[in-house]
Amino acid sequence: MERLLNFAGRVLRLVPVLLWWAVVVGIGCFLNLLLLKEVWPNTPRAEPVLVVLLAICAFLVPWLVAQTANRIAKILSLQGSLWCWLWRLITIVSLCGATLSTIIVGVLLLLALLRGGQF
């Protein structure tokens, strides 16, 4: 149990600050969108702002998860364990997902601009 707690403490120190911010802001935007009529009844432009902030957070999270997994794999590579390969696999999968999401966001942005700038 002590080894697990030491590993968890080490992992939490390796998570970039920007990832924490992206997760917290994303959750806040999501909750505000759920309660839009109650929290922002007199602010009609709140919804587009919250949607853009949520999209930015959703765009950042896969890249930052890949960075975190890479940092963890570097630490575990010193020990030469099978866990290092697992974290390398997580890094590769999250980089592929981040690349795919970047392509999708780029295509959607291009389509929105071609449609007349309406998001």
Q: Per residue in 61-78, pLDDT tens?
A: 999 999 999 998 888 876
* Joined tokens for residue 73: 């794999």
22 vs 32: CA distance, rounded Å: 15
24 vs 26: CA distance, rounded Å: 5
* Joined tokens for residue 52: 């853009």
Q: Which regions in the chain score pLDDT beneath 70?
A: 78-80, 117-119
Sign, CA dihedral 105-111-114-119, equals: negative
* Joined tokens for residue 111: 């389509």
